[in-house]
Structure 1
Amino acid sequence: MTFDPQQLGQPKQELAALLKELRKRAGLTGDRLARRCHMSQSKVSRIENGKVRPSLLDLEGILRAIAAPPEVIEEVVALARLANTEWHNLRSLRRRGLEKKQSELAALESSATEFRFFLLSMITGLLSTPEYIRASLAHSPADVTKTIARKLERQEVLCDTTKRFTFLLTEQAVRWPLLPPAAMALQIDRLASLNHLANVRLGVIPIAGHKPMVPMDTFTVYDNTLVTVENTTGVVFLRDPRDIGMHVDLFATLEDYALFGEEARALLTSWSDECLP
């Protein structure tokens, strides 16, 4: 099955239709299938109508109940993976208004309790100074005043002690000169100060040393239930447990490369000092 980002909304309905067809081929009513799978008939109906995204456990139960052959299982699993993936391209985000994306992110941050951020090439809005946020949006053709304000409002979530944040920043992300030297020094100082928050764990990954794992993207893991992966053209949302597990494992490896606590603050202070003549 080929991967076409522009068609990522379709597999959810394709999966629902295929499961319904397979159930009928097996000669089962929705009620009989539900009893075999130990789930409610209404849930089976919602799955077959595309209103509920089935979990892997749901799929395993359904496929076992209809005695699906290996080739059918492979097709269903492939569709399920795509059904748990969404693509939001930057052009459509800009058309809708970038401040709406900020509202969606705020909703995610409100509902989740554990966050893992890996920042490959730049600093995320939650950690940014107003000057850094403004510079990061400088090339947007739209008015970004509301977006800047919304990004700054979102930073309040860092003070919510019921939530836990781990940020991993590469040296490139910290030191990329998006701002003039004095402003960059202030941005780096902000990172060092945030490391004092009890519910924030901020690590920096220096370039020096041997690091055999090479990360390719910026990504965020929310509560082990959702991963967002960012690139130049947009954002991919991953809900498949296999994709989430892969990113959790990658994050753990990258944590081993990072410096935390006093070591991180000392390194950040030295990078801040180097910004100034």
Structure 2
Amino acid sequence: MANRHVKAGNRVSTVLARQLGGQLLAFREAVGLNQSEAAEVLSAHTAKVAKMERGWVPFRDPDIIALCKLYGVEDNEVIAGLLGLAKLDRERRRTKGWWVSCAGGNLREYIAMEDAALRVRLWQLSLIPGLFQTPEYIRASVVAGISVDDMDRIEEVVDVRRRRQARLHGERPLHVHAVIWEAALRQLMGGPQVMARQLARLCELAELPHVRIQVLPFRTGGYPGMGGPFNMLSFAEEGAMDVVHMDGLHSTDWVEGVEDSAAYGNLFRHLCAISLSPYDSVRLIQEIGKGMNE
């Protein structure tokens, strides 16, 4: 289920709330109850349940607990995951991070999610992931994709990505597992010298205990995931409440359904299985980087 950030008056439908609402909707439908019956246990109007299931409102913990009891959800880990997601959504609605003033609407929501995430898994075909890009590489990639009228935005993009990269360090570092197609390593973005420094940067980051980089080599041939890159954001333990982000040419899509996000998780695991090991990936990156310097 692909969704975009939606506003209506003062209400905001957020990715996290839509995911939580979608999970409660699935529980309700599984036991054959309607919204009126769910509203009754909350001593509320049907409209409240409808807003909750569509992610229009922040969730109260007592409401989640009451609905889980009504729907027969007894797994404490599942309930804890829902409560954690609700808390995270409430915090995200209140927080005014640095990205509010310097990022566009779609990007703003993604950065807010990335800032809250514990872990990100990403698959990239043609570019080095933004979290790993050097300033020179960023400038070269931005120049290649914008019009002359937007050239003054280049340093703004550099600054935004630099701030995002701060999550790779500090007390609460973001855990990143990246699978990169070999083509992204060989694409001369900015020329040989820029790419040589970029590849050296990848090798440096691969030494961090919370960064794992794998390369899918050309020799693999056909592979799943050829349709496009994606990022998977995790806010709890592995497999719990993941959302998938796909950034297209003119739009940003979120895959929020539990089954759909699980399918992307399976796809990512398969990509990891057919890619080089982290050790061999670094060796290949070093080899390609050496060729850039010759």
Per-residue CA deviations over 1:28-87 (Å, capped at 9, x if unaligned) read: 893x4445xxx5244853232467439xxx9xx9xx99xxxxxxxxxxxxxxxxxxxxxx
Other structure's SS at 1:121 match = coil
The residue aligned with 1:120 is 125
Other structure's SS at 1:137 match = helix
Counterpart mapping for 1:84-233 below 5 A: 98=103, 101-138=106-143, 139-140=145-146, 141-142=149-150, 143-144=152-153, 145-160=155-170, 161-223=172-234, 224-233=241-250
Question: 2:183 & 2:45 partners in 1: Cα distance?
Answer: 47
Other structure's SS at 1:168 match = strand
Deviates more, 1:41-50 or 1:188-197: 41-50
1:235 to 1:159, Cα distance in 2 relative to 1, 3 A:
same
Other structure's SS at 1:259 match = coil
Deviation of 1:233 (Å): 3.0
- Count residues in correspondence: 224
> Unaligned 5+ residue runs, structure 1?
20-25, 66-95
Question: 1:156 & 1:260 partners in 2: Cα distance?
Answer: 26
Deviation of 1:204 (Å): 0.8
Question: 1:147 & 1:171 partners in 2: Cα distance?
Answer: 25
Question: 1:34 & 1:174 partners in 2: Cα distance?
Answer: 54
Question: 2:247 & 2:107 partners in 1: Cα distance?
Answer: 14
Please tell me whether the aligned partners of residues 199 and 286 of structure 2 are also in contact (alpha carbons under 8 angstroms).
Answer: yes
Look up the equivalent residue of 2:198 and give its one-letter code.
Answer: Q
> Unaligned 5+ residue runs, structure 2?
14-20, 26-31, 57-63, 72-100, 235-240
Look up the equivalent residue of 1:248 and give its one-letter code.
Answer: G
Per-residue CA deviations over 1:149-175 (Å, capped at 9, x if unaligned) read: 111111010114553210110001222
The residue aligned with 2:75 is none
The residue aligned with 2:292 is 275
Counterpart mapping for 1:13-32 below 5 A: 30=36, 32=37
Please tell me whether the aligned partners of residues 125 and 229 of structure 2 are also in contact (alpha carbons under 8 angstroms).
Answer: yes
Deviation of 1:218 (Å): 0.6
- 1:263 aligns to 2:273 (yes or no): no
Please tell me whether the aligned partners of residues 195 and 265 of structure 1 are also in contact (alpha carbons under 8 angstroms).
Answer: yes
Question: 1:43 & 1:218 partners in 2: Cα distance?
Answer: 42
Identical pairs, percent: 21
1:4 to 1:189, Cα distance in 2 relative to 1, 3 A:
closer
Question: 2:53 & 2:270 partners in 1: Cα distance?
Answer: 37
Please tell me whether the aligned partners of residues 35 and 50 of structure 2 are also in contact (alpha carbons under 8 angstroms).
Answer: no
Please tell me whether the aligned partners of residues 243 and 254 of structure 2 are also in contact (alpha carbons under 8 angstroms).
Answer: yes
Question: 1:252 & 1:43 partners in 2: Cα distance?
Answer: 43
Look up the equivalent residue of 1:217 and give its one-letter code.
Answer: G
Please tell me whether the aligned partners of residues 47 and 53 of structure 1 are also in contact (alpha carbons under 8 angstroms).
Answer: no
Look up the equivalent residue of 1:133 and give its one-letter code.
Answer: I
Other structure's SS at 2:55 match = coil
Counterpart mapping for 1:238-249 below 5 A: 238-249=255-266
Question: 1:155 & 1:4 partners in 2: Cα distance?
Answer: 27
Question: 2:286 & 2:35 partners in 1: Cα distance?
Answer: 66
Deviation of 1:270 (Å): 0.5
Query: Normalising to structure 2: TM-score of the pair?
Result: 0.64
Please tell me whether the aligned partners of residues 118 and 251 of structure 1 are also in contact (alpha carbons under 8 angstroms).
Answer: yes
Per-residue CA deviations over 1:218-268 (Å, capped at 9, x if unaligned) read: 100111431111233332111111221111111010001222332111100
**Larger Rg belongs to:** 1
Look up the equivalent residue of 2:118 and give its one-letter code.
Answer: T
Please tell me whether the aligned partners of residues 232 and 243 of structure 2 are also in contact (alpha carbons under 8 angstroms).
Answer: yes
Tell me the C-alpha RMSD between the 2 structures.
3.8
Please tell me whether the aligned partners of residues 102 and 150 of structure 1 are also in contact (alpha carbons under 8 angstroms).
Answer: no
Please tell me whether the aligned partners of residues 229 and 235 of structure 1 are also in contact (alpha carbons under 8 angstroms).
Answer: yes
Question: 2:224 & 2:51 partners in 1: Cα distance?
Answer: 42
Question: 1:99 & 1:214 partners in 2: Cα distance?
Answer: 27
